[in-house]
Structure 1
Amino acid sequence: MASIIKNRAIVNDDWTVVRPAEDGTLPAVNELPAGKVLVPLTLWQAQRDALIASRGAEQLGVWLAPDSEPADIVGDFDKLALIAVDFPVFRDGRGYSIARLLRQRYGYTGELRSIGDVLRDQLTFMYRCGFDSYALRADKDINDALKAFDEFSVQYQSAVDTSPLFRRRAAQADAVKVPA
């Protein structure tokens, strides 16, 4: 069984990512592997009711491609145990925006996973955008990647996880002021 990083710990991955065939065709609901499955948004949109009837929310997740619109699944948050965002190549950063939209604009609070060409150098930035689990590329060392979360002690910019540094410093200064 493969391993992932979830909540800054290495755990077994019990999800199977379902991908379209090379010709772009999607599998039928009855052809999906047993257990928990992460299906592409296009399959979810085409077979939503059949997937729910065959699996139940705890066995279903959806993955979004870089050009997917996260607003398309907002009404289905309660029917999904996991949402993943695919990074088909390292240099494609659209998944970061999708994560921020899901967390900040649409209020998604469930597990948000990065899949695809996920590398150690991206993990801190992914975390700051709202990801909480990471399926690293198979040829990468997951134990080494886990160290990425401790490399930066101070973040300057605002993100899902913190306000900008100037606001944090102003709040500390206000707290320290002694009344005259």
Structure 2
Amino acid sequence: MPLLEDGRLRPDDWTSIEDDAPLPDGPAIISLDRLRAEAAALAGRNAPLGVAVAPETQPEEIAPFLDRLALVAVRMPKPKDGRAFTQARSLREHHGFTGEIRATGHIIPDHYAMLLRCGVTTVEVPEGTDPATWTRSRDAIRVGYQAAQGADRPLSLLRRKLELA
């Protein structure tokens, strides 16, 4: 599936790997179970490594591995399940993760602006997706009721207060 990043489609260079499959030489996304089981062996890996987390995964569970991860994929099993928003926000704000956070699963264009505000950088979209639909949705409402994440916004309220001082 293509990825939506900054309102534009781009190809996905990552490969999702089953737990019993060998890792490729390039960027690979593995399960949290595999990451835990093979942590020592994966520590010396030169290619980028990502982890796919289930909706029920607490960000604290992957925090010890964040320094070796380039990507965390959060999944929305259905449009009304907002746990991916919380996971992304916590990874950015509480754990200082600076890598790619990818949203996967049942995501609708109405989610796009909120995902970006929570720190998601890429969204997995179906083939044939028109990015204009997603950018229109992103740009429709520019007012937020909560603090946000992003390149133009500090990571936390404390950092925001420190910048104003």
TM score, norm. by length of structure 2: 0.79
Alignment partners' CA distance in 2, 1:121 and 1:12: 22
What is the Cα deviation at residue 132 of structure 1? Answer: 1.1
1:140–1:38 CA distance, 2 compared to 1 (3 A):
same
Which residue of 1 is the match for residue 29 of structure 2? 38
Alignment partners' CA distance in 2, 1:40 and 1:117: 19
1:91–1:64 CA distance, 2 compared to 1 (3 A):
same
CA-to-aligned-CA distance 1:11-38 (integer Å, 9 cap, x gap): 111112235xxxxxx324x2x4553211
What is the Cα deviation at residue 45 of structure 1? Answer: 0.8
Which residue of 2 is the match for residue 17 of structure 1? 16
Unmatched runs of 5 consecutive residues or more in structure 2: 155-165
Which residue of 1 is the match for residue 20 of structure 2? 27
Identify which range, 79-88 or 34-43, moves more after superposition: 34-43
**1:81 is the counterpart of 2:74:** no
The structure that has the greater radius of gyration is 1
Alignment partners' CA distance in 1, 2:49 and 2:102: 13
What is the Cα deviation at residue 140 of structure 1? Answer: 6.5
Runs of 4+ in 1 over 4 A off after TM superposition: none
Alignment partners' CA distance in 1, 2:98 and 2:14: 19
TM score, norm. by length of structure 1: 0.73
Structure number with greater CO (CA < 8 Å, separation at least 6) is 2
Paired residue secondary structure (1:86):
strand
1:142–1:61 CA distance, 2 compared to 1 (3 A):
farther
Match for residue 50 of structure 2 among 61, 72, 79: 61
Which residue of 2 is the match for residue 47 of structure 1? 38
**1:129 is the counterpart of 2:128:** no
Match for residue 117 of structure 1 among 106, 119, 134: 106
Which residue of 2 is the match for residue 146 of structure 1? 135
CA-to-aligned-CA distance 1:80-113 (integer Å, 9 cap, x gap): 1111111122221111111111111111111111
CA-to-aligned-CA distance 1:108-131 (integer Å, 9 cap, x gap): 111111112222111111111111
**Matched residues, percent identical?**
32
Which residue of 2 is the match for residue 6 of structure 1? 5
**CA-atom RMSD, angstroms?**
2.3
Select the structure that is richer in helix: 1
- Do 1:5 and 1:142's aligned partners in 2 also have CA atoms closer than 8 Å? no
Alignment partners' CA distance in 2, 1:148 and 1:18: 32
Alignment partners' CA distance in 1, 2:142 and 2:58: 33
Alignment partners' CA distance in 1, 2:135 and 2:40: 38
Unmatched runs of 5 consecutive residues or more in structure 1: 20-25, 164-180
Number of paired residues? 151
Which residue of 1 is the match for residue 85 of structure 2? 96
